[in-house]
Structure 1
């Protein structure tokens, strides 16, 4: 199989996505020009001025923690893996954008990382199945010493931070454990001291150290902040007593002014002053606040949330500016307007979003709370976005304003699962979870059901219309694909296969069509009599969920549960290029109308833009 060589890798041009659930996963690099954040197994470095992205790829599974050294020379990232396997820490040379060491000791998950102030050491915490803390020599790329992170078998450390002015002192906190560690490097040992909290029991989520190292602050799941004396390890204060932070303190940053920036699980960001941590200013954001990162001295700072949003704040105004947004749930479909590659639309749980292709800017968001949009299509005239929803409704929206044009109630009894509009914009073909295919006549004022066709026994997964609007092709998870006459409303052909069909495409000349699904096979079929022409092995592992053919018909692309984007030659049936970058299962992908890009979307909410390797002739 071709496509394995480095020269046949698809070039990744841009990513819309951010895993906001990684604690302190959003970092502002000390050069003040770049943001660093994770998405799946990729680390994205984004220039704040040009918005140009670079990608660090080396992890075999999702990145679980990130740390940047104070000088900015090094970046460290940890990952999760599977039960019984070791989880890697990658040490990156930041200026070269390449791995300089792979550090492997922890089992299953690396929970947290921190560099010492002078870049000498890196401390790492293993996850719950590992429970150890390890100190690494950065220059020698080797472990110096390790120890259990907690004295209690039930305790579990989840956060770590180094002292400001010493390479030999660091703190760890978590569930049932809060410790200050002293490194004894000549003897390759580290000595922990438990902090005394008296009768108080707290789960520590995040740590911050005062600039002079005299004390440190701990955010907790109960929504209060502990202040601990570093010297005697005693509790100084616990506040606020009233008006605790709802859903816990999830992020904490200390400013030069002595004020605290506090992020909470309910999406509030507060600027707190004085011994009682009274909120002087608060802002409500979308999703739990899991990262706060200062740019330089903190005149500007960035906030990352579990809703996959990145905000920029200026300290004096304390007003949020949304700079990056994306889906935080699985993306179910993607579509381009007819004849243009400038923008595209995606749909997910709660919303449909329209994006500018090259700048990644979100141009429009249409929200329908607590509903999931399963499929979308632009009408040929570009005047509406038609959408299929799990509540059984078909909704049409205006692409510029997002205003609802019409809503067809009870379009399908088990949710609308697939949708397509005819090129004359007069009719819609919809498919449902119950297997019915329905034709609707669409007018400005009225939407009328013309015909319901009942042949499929299970949900309709994909609908494609023939250029003359007289026939359509439907794929279903019952293992059948049917060609319908949508003028006479009869079945013309049916093909059967031992698979759950996920995607289907007409060849542009419309004499053949191509199918794929859970059996990992790509099938070529004759439109005339439904006979099988050939079968290709489409994937080594997992279903193929998405497929698209270029306008000339010479190449097609596939994507699925193996997380790979593959470009195939249609006649030879061979892979020519492969795109590696997704860490969630690919759900759909499209070649843009002028064959310049491939856009692929996945279950982790990521949108990836690839360079299409074959230019228009």
Structure 2
């Protein structure tokens, strides 16, 4: 069992806070998700999350004009400078201030970075702006960040900064209801210009494309147009103006005397401007309001082009792409990300995660989809390849406690605390069956029979297990015997046995089709939290409240081994803990277990920042994964900062909302009461806890997922840089493989390549086999190499683009893992057919060992089929369009010909 899993993607969370950005080509959107940054490729319908993390939640991101440098700043002012295309961290710096969204901007020439409020510290106001030189990607320096200058003059916090098109100056806006114009370098006789007259906070200021007009937008809905004063304009028109000095072309903006040319108002009653952006080539001003309404205005005439309500909550961030066609919006309260094409009035992207915590997840049998359920009562299905949610079911009225796929993958079951179990059709996307109990109960767990005909759900209040028929929807049986809430259910993959765990410290194994339901329970030392069957159905694992994982032999009815995981899962001290993380006993248990596809290892997660991978046979920990390093979450720090702990308690838990300067920030809009589980708990701030509620292994065995506080985390095998030879010898070299291929010994070359286990060599030996010899070589492949060959062919059928190719990396720098994907579909299908025909009897006898390989091949075939269908549909649509255009052209030509003949006849008659 390989354990070199690495973080692959973050789903379930599309936007949290901060500003959203478009890339330079306008085809991708960058969105902050907690302390990470996700990239949504709108052209290829893909998404991925950058691998590096900030220390805390990100408040501001900025991308250089050439798209190579990404700067992400967290809420405490610590910034990461990364190579966006290579996805590697270059430098780190602490600006020592809270940077507002949009408070970091690269100059249009990419040489300078303007940072709002940097260096002021948390004690003072962020009324200054610092300009730094952009670090070079090539030159190595001990001090990569070089401060150019610090600009002051505002009397309150600076809100935003905007560069002029020639990068010679910039304009800042502030809470003191003014905007100020600064020059990058000192100009003789220049004093910073102040733009005053607004009656509320100036949210943003923008330059026109010719730099002759400045627009300022305030929070109360006013837009002021600033131009050169009339006297100067008349002098310029008459040619009486002052003679230009040296460098006057660069300092035209600085030497202009600005005055208000026009005052415009949005006239949106009861709303305030939250965010805005400006597209200078087309003079489009996009504004997002506090009511979820956004509008487009053409400047300087202030013509309203488009107004639409897209959300129930305020729009936190807005961005426009380079062509001015797509608008990106982020809503913090809903965790929603939208991309709107305003010309055609259609959504390009509309994604939203779970409103509250994500409770549970389940993989589809082919590993292509992941279903999640949350406290908001919604069930979402995500595509693991694209990272997008493509369907949301909202029928439940309470938190979803369990989701499970049927064996065929076309039906999804969910259990909820609202007392219902629902079945969803994933072909027609509808709820086609609802299961209820005779008396109202809350269902805490769910299990589906391997045949998909029977489902079981356990209750928390009646301590019973209910069985229903999927076909008829009728209640088949009620299993009684537990004396506490049922916490876990699991059907055996190969038999009719149902295992149940309960808070009464027992595990019971039921034969659901047996007349007698008398079972002998397995007694544990503490409450049972969850149960899981091994893929072959011969072993059962149960997790208890005291941090133990107990293994039982189902056929013999006895305990086989035990893993003490209390110390492994412990880690992270909460803000209100009186003891250190090592001495605290709270939450040191696993509430989710899952076996790997081959059953050799067990993955366990709980109320901790760690997910543990155990070797079942030896009972030892193989690897420990930390799901998050975000210090904004509770329980990620091993030691608390003593400077933050006072006599009144931890300062991180003190609610300082009443100290805000704005009335709407001081108001308690949620009307929280003492005892509520969300919000500020009436007196103290609520800090989300870093924990894992559910872990699941993919049926293909190459990835696993975790439903955590951050969202849906996906981990995949990192096989790009590992050298893992098999049965190596001194004579086995890459040169020997090339020699065997040259001499036509294709079987020998393929086996030698598999023994070296280097993917470029395997690909070379694989593709060198002639089509006529595929059946012969497949028949002679030894069984020990069958699984490796099946997985290799399945990986070639994977249609997903390589991560490096998604961001435009040169093909010569792509790692060897990307070389697997190939357009030779027919050749790969011939290999799969030949392998299954030649070794079908052996594979059937060892179906359990090859189950993960079979699922990987199945997933590859399904992906290839869907790609071919999509290409065919696109080609059919293109051909239909061309045919229609040809017919329309013929009709026009015929009509023109008839009209011409009619005119000729009329001419002859006259």
Same fold judged by TM-score > 0.5?
yes
**Following the alignment from structure 1 to structure 2, what is the Cα–Cα distance between the partners of residues 516 and 159?**
52
Equivalent runs, 1:90-129 vs 2, <5 Å? 90-107=80-97, 112-125=103-116, 129=122
1:473–1:484 CA contact under 8 A, matched in 2:
yes
Superposed displacement of residue 76, structure 1:
0.9
Q: 1:8 to 1:31 in 2, by over 3 A?
A: farther
Preserved contact between residue 224 and residue 262 of structure 2 (Cα < 8 Å): yes
CA deviation profile, 1:281-308 (whole Å, cap 9, x unmatched): 2344356543433332324444444445
Tell me, yes or no, if the aligned pair for 2:14 and 2:337 is still in contact at 8 Å: no
Deviations 1:521-575 (A, max 9, x none): 5444565245863323432426544321023210122334544554332223344
Distance 1:532 1:568, change over 3 A: closer
2:310 maps to which residue? 285
Instruction: Confirm whether residue 482 of structure 1 aligns to residue 507 of structure 2.
Output: yes
Structure with the higher helix share, 1 or 2: 2
Match of 1:463 in 2: 489
Q: What's 1:604 paired with?
A: 710
Give the 3 Å change call, closer, same or farther, for CA 423–193 of structure 1 in structure 2: same
Are 1:539 and 2:569 an aligned pair? yes
In structure 1, how many angstroms separate the alpha carbons of the residues matched to 2:592 and 2:539? 18
Query: How far has the Cα of 1:240 moved from its partner?
Result: 1.6
Offset at residue 266 of structure 1 (A): 3.9
Structure 2 unmatched runs, 5+: 136-143, 228-256, 573-586, 631-689, 720-787, 792-851, 854-910
The residue correspondences of 1:376-525 to structure 2 (distance < 5 A) are 376-382=403-409, 384-409=411-436, 413=440, 415-434=442-461, 436-442=463-469, 444-448=471-475, 450-451=477-478, 453=480, 455-458=482-485, 460-467=486-493, 470-476=496-502, 478=503, 480-485=505-510, 486=512, 487=514, 488-490=516-518, 492-497=520-525, 502-510=529-537, 512-516=539-543, 521-524=548-551
- 1:560-591 CA distance string (max 9 Å, x none): 45445543322233444555665663322221
**Correspondence 1:257 to 2:253:** no
Aligned counterparts of 1:265 and 1:371: Cα–Cα separation in 2: 28
Number of equivalent positions: 591
Aligned alpha-carbon RMSD (Å): 4.0
Deviations 1:172-216 (A, max 9, x none): 334x554425367679xx997765346x3x345555443326323
How big is the shift at 1:592?
1.8
Q: Distance in 1 between matches of 2:60 and 2:438?
A: 45
Separation in 2, partners of 1:430, 1:205: 53
Give the counterpart of 1:24 among 6, 19, 23: 19
> Hey, what's the Cα distance between the residues in 2 that align with 1:414 and 1:193?
68
Aligned match of 1:75: 70
Contact 1:33 1:49 in 2 (8 A): yes
Equivalent residue, structure 2, for 1:573: 619
**How far off is 1:67 after superposition?**
0.8
SS of the residue aligned with 2:50? strand
SS at structure 2 position matched to 1:436: coil
Report the Cα offset of residue 402 of structure 1.
2.6
Q: Is the 8 A contact 1:179 1:194 kept in 2?
A: yes
The structure 1 residue matched to 2:155, chosen from 151, 155, 158, is 151
Q: Tell me how far 1:271 sits from its aligned partner.
A: 2.1
Moved more, 211-220 or 140-149: 140-149
Partner of 1:84: none
Q: What's the CA shift for 1:403? A: 2.0
SS of the equivalent of 1:553 reads coil
User: Does the CA-based 8 Å contact 2:12-2:354 persist in structure 1?
Assistant: yes
* Residue 559, structure 1, aligned to residue 605, structure 2: yes
Instruction: Give the CA deviation at 1:425.
Output: 3.6
**1:294 equivalent among 320, 329, 340:** 320
Q: How far apart are the structure 2 equivalents of 1:168 and 1:284?
A: 36
CA distance in 2, matches of 1:412, 1:77: 53
- Could you tell me how far apart the structure 2 residues matched to 1:253 and 1:369 are? 42
Find the aligned partners of 1:17 and 1:191 in 2 and give their Cα distance: 50
The aligned counterpart of 1:41 is 35
Alignment of 1:8-407 (within 5 A): 9-25=4-20, 27-50=21-44, 51=46, 53=48, 55-80=50-75, 87-107=77-97, 112-125=103-116, 129=122, 131-132=125-126, 133-135=128-130, 136-139=132-135, 140-144=144-148, 151-152=155-156, 156-174=157-175, 178-180=178-180, 182=182, 195-197=195-197, 200=199, 202-203=200-201, 205=203, 207-211=205-209, 212=211, 214-218=213-217, 220=219, 224-227=221-224, 229=226, 237-241=263-267, 243-244=268-269, 246=271, 248-273=273-298, 279-286=304-311, 288-306=314-332, 307-314=334-341, 316-322=343-349, 326-337=353-364, 339-348=365-374, 349-368=376-395, 371-382=398-409, 384-407=411-434
Larger RCO: Structure 1 or Structure 2 (Cα < 8 Å, ≥ 6 residues apart)? 1
- Provide the secondary structure at the position in 2 that maps to 1:556: strand
Between Structure 1 and Structure 2, whose CA radius of gyration is higher? 2
Say whether the 8 Å CA contact 1:253–1:292 is kept in structure 2. no
In the TM superposition, what is the alpha-carbon distance from 1:43 to its structure 2 partner? 2.1
**CA spacing shift, 1:296–1:378, aligned 2, 3 Å:** same
The gaps in structure 1 that reach 5 residues or longer are: 82-86
Match of 1:588 in 2: 694
Distance 2:177 2:36 in 1: 31
When residues 167 and 428 of structure 1 are mapped into structure 2, their CA distance, relative to the original with a 3 A threshold, is same
1:517 and 1:210 mapped to 2: Cα distance?
65
8 Å CA contact 1:334–1:344 kept in 2: the answer is yes
Higher strand proportion, which one? Answer: 1
Kept in 1: contact 2:179–2:196 (CA 8 A):
no
Given the two structures, how large is their TM-score scaled by the length of structure 1? 0.81
Equivalent residues of 1:598, 1:611 under 8 A apart: no
